[in-house]
Structure 1
């Protein structure tokens, strides 16, 4: 059966930023497909809710509250997967994000921190995961990037630059780790998560964003989770070094920050 290719029975995954939004939806999706999951984010109460849903799907959850901006915390998750769940097959690098800033307020330090949080974290966990994955023959890494890594909009210099770097990191890492470990990314458009609450609760702004998106709606976190499942499973077994765009057809930013000319 073709759907069997999407099964992850007895595999083990690590999902970062798993307390809510895309990370939570992805962790639950992987569990529903048969995987045990290490979930990590800053807020333990959020992780507890996700763990209950993983367990309701009949799978095990290892909960690791941590500040994932600390690279040592990221790297430690691979050891948790091996020590508590017995192996590691899948990594979902979902940590990231950077607040918008006008160009002249984007200090070098802010740009460096954006790179560290969006790319350094992914590299730290992937590098730690590789030896554990190879113990079982290989695995799959999925990085969560953004449409802002390929389009231009005012205020997104640090975020867009970091996400563009993550996309190319994905392509380079795929070559480095082939043939035993596949590495792909998802370039995400506007998705209804807590990160966008501040704008999506404003009906006027939401309507403008939907109108500026070719599919005329905001994405659902489960749609990103479904793409991650495809890339992590045997269904995506001949895919590596690719950035899958799940953005409603977006070709330009659908949120104008209203920053004036200099």
Structure 2
């Protein structure tokens, strides 16, 4: 008997790590993966915010735990992965969602700002892949998902550094797909457009910004974190078993038009 197609989106028995999971898109991805049957380890730097997020998801009957560490610290990442393996027996899914934005004219970025944003948004993704790949290989394979952005494909004023880091994630995912594919590990990018979260709420309440987003987006609305999470679930589930090295835009068509 053939399995139900919904089984292709089940993650029963999987262990997943989601960085930047204390709020917004990261928390929504963690919820979606846990709802699909995975045990999800939430990560953020702030232990207080992290525990609040863990408690919120656990209260809904989901299997979650938490571990605080800085994604830019290779030793901390390696220690966290080792702890996850010790506690749960392995790691099947790693979602590199932690990131930062810094808007200013291109000539005003100083060297420290450049290094910091490159480290958080791009370098940390490679550090995560380095840490999880041997563990995933020992399990017979795994899935790495990186949170990119529509702004890695198109440009907006005062976002040169952020756009560069997110474009870099697309290249990194392709490289990881080639390098890690023979070891049974897939790597993809989910690239949101304009997403309405607590961080963007002020902008969304500005009538001019709201009108611009809705006019510029063929589907005529902001994305929700759940829109992004649904795409993320697809990319780490058996439903995408032959998909690797790809960028999936969740932007309502904004990047498709001139």
Q: TM-score scaled by structure 2? A: 0.92
Q: Does 1:14 align with 2:10?
A: no
- The equivalent of 1:200 in structure 2 is 204
Q: Does the CA-based 8 Å contact 1:88-1:132 persist in structure 2?
A: yes
Q: Helix, strand or coil: the match of 2:135?
A: helix
Alignment CA distance shift 1:53-1:85 (3 Å): farther
Instruction: Render the CA deviation track for 1:41-98: whole Å, top value 9, x for unaligned.
Output: 1233332233234434544322112333434333333223212222100000001122
Q: Helix, strand or coil: the match of 2:66?
A: strand
Alignment CA distance shift 1:211-1:38 (3 Å): same
Q: Does the CA-based 8 Å contact 1:37-1:62 persist in structure 2?
A: yes
Instruction: Render the CA deviation track for 1:117-173: whole Å, top value 9, x for unaligned.
Output: 111111111110011111211100000000111112221110000110111000011
Q: Does 1:219 align with 2:228?
A: no
State how 1:222-233 maps to structure 2 within 5 Å. 222-233=226-237
C-alpha distance in 2, partners of 1:163/1:140? 19
C-alpha distance in 2, partners of 1:176/1:220? 33
Q: Does 1:175 align with 2:178?
A: yes
Aligned residues: 254
- The equivalent of 2:69 in structure 1 is 66
Q: Does 1:121 align with 2:132?
A: no
* RMSD of aligned Cα (Å): 1.9
How far is 1:220 from its partner? Answer: 0.6
Choose which of 174, 185, 191 in structure 1 pairs with 2:195. Answer: 191
Q: Does the CA-based 8 Å contact 2:71-2:128 persist in structure 1?
A: no
Structure 2: which 5+ runs fail to align?
A: none
Q: Helix, strand or coil: the match of 1:96?
A: coil
C-alpha distance in 1, partners of 2:216/2:69? 37
C-alpha distance in 2, partners of 1:85/1:19? 21
- The equivalent of 1:138 in structure 2 is 141
How far is 1:114 from its partner? Answer: 1.8
Q: Helix, strand or coil: the match of 1:182?
A: strand
- The equivalent of 2:46 in structure 1 is 43
Instruction: Render the CA deviation track for 1:168-202: whole Å, top value 9, x for unaligned.
Output: 00001100000300000011101112231331232
C-alpha distance in 2, partners of 1:23/1:206? 23
Structure 1: which 5+ runs fail to align?
A: 254-262
